[in-house]
Amino acid sequence: MDVHNLVSFAGIFILAALAWLLSSDRRNMNWRVIGWGIALQLLMAGFIFRVPAGTRVFLAVNDAVVRVLDSAGAGSRFVFGRLALYVLTLRGQFPTIAGHLISASLLSAPAALVMSKIILPERQEPETLGMHVEPYYEKDSSLFEAIINGADAGVWMVVGIVALLIAVLGLVALVDLGLSSLGDLVNPMLGIKGQWSLRGLFGYLFYPLTLVLGVPLSDVREVSRIIGERLIVTEVASYGDLAVAMKQGLLKNPRSVVITTYALCGFAHIASMAIFVGSACALAPQLTKGIGPVAVRALVAATLACLMTACVAGTFFTGDSILLGGS
């Protein structure tokens, strides 16, 4: 274990501490659940990265997913969704990308639990704790009524999601326009080049967070740009930029590729926040008034959870690991 592994391990607790600082209730923490969540991540990652049997399972899953994608393009896009896209984007430069994405998805579950328990801990005991509750639903009188009601509910949800996406992404574009105009005025006075944008701004803001992931210093700037822009342009564009960076040799250390892959695996961006708000408001309109602050905290928690997953992967990854695609 070298210094980068130690930095990644320390980063797990640094990110947890940052989440605690941003918590809505710092005194009311379920430390047992938080501790088990972190421990579960470490155990899973240790099994995948360090235990021979775990490595064999990892490589078998990677090969299986790649074969499915190769043999059934349309079907795999339906079954695996955005996974038919990430794998095809990066497979040429990163042969074991499919296995890492599945591994990241598994590790992200306890990470999301940990961050949610820290950022927005429960303040009251659930009324149904320890009780067996039968689900309640209103049964439709006929098949056609069920179809009509289901379609109606679905339409309202889609309309809400689309409306929020248009509003939020339009606002992002408007802010970018303002920043670009400001840059055009300020750049000549300061003698600097480049276009100002939220995408670039978040690249700088994520620089210190990228450091605690255990990314080698030579790659921190490029990795922070890729991770930071995900908040604005979604993980699809960020994975594409990661593939370009690998192809152009902008990332000097293979460790950086693995950590970035894990850090990007999640819907932690403004578009997903808009989808969450739109769908929640469509299903439960009474929540509209107070959902804004919760949505922002959810986005922060999701972002920190993705970064924690990257730290866990960085803790166990070594440069000569077969999981990189070598022999």
**pLDDT value at residue 76:** 46
Each residue's pLDDT tens digit, 282-296: 777 787 777 888 888
Long-range contacts of 193-199 (CB under 8 A, 24+ apart): 198/172, 198/232, 199/228, 199/229, 199/232, 199/233
d(CA 317, CA 54): 13
Gyration radius of the chain over CA positions: 22
**pLDDT value at residue 79:** 47
Domain boundaries, the chain: 3-123+150-324
| 140 contacts: CB under 8 Å, gap ≥ 6 | 146, 149
d(CA 15, CA 325): 29
Provide the 3-class DSSP secondary structure of residue 251. coil
Segment 20-24 shows an average pLDDT of: 92
**pLDDT value at residue 160:** 66
**pLDDT value at residue 6:** 94
Each residue's pLDDT tens digit, 117-140: 999 888 777 677 777 777 766 777
d(CA 115, CA 112): 5
Q: What is the mean pLDDT of the chain?
A: 80
Segment 225-252 shows an average pLDDT of: 85
Segment 26-36 shows an average pLDDT of: 90
Q: Is the pLDDT of residue 225 over 70?
A: yes
Q: Is the pLDDT of residue 10 over 60?
A: yes
CB 47 within 8 A of CB 56: no
Extract the tokens encoding 253. Answer: 């250390």
**pLDDT value at residue 80:** 46
CB 106 within 8 A of CB 262: no
CB 74 within 8 A of CB 67: no
DSSP line for 91-156: TTT-TTHHHHHHHHHHHHHHHHHHHHHHHS---S--TTTT-------PPPSSHHHHHHHHHHHHHH
d(CA 279, CA 158): 7
Each residue's pLDDT tens digit, 169-199: 777 788 888 888 888 888 888 787 777 887 7
Better-predicted residue by pLDDT, 88 or 211: 211
d(CA 47, CA 55): 8
Distances (CA, A) of 207 to 203, 212, 225, 311: 7, 9, 8, 15
| 147 contacts: CB under 8 Å, gap ≥ 6 | none
Amino acid at 271: A
Counted residue by residue, the chain has a size of 327
- Angle between helix 31-49 and 291-316 (nearest 10): 40
Residue among 309, 259, 314, 271 nearest 38 (CA): 309
Each residue's pLDDT tens digit, 134-177: 776 677 778 888 878 777 777 776 776 677 667 767 777 888 88
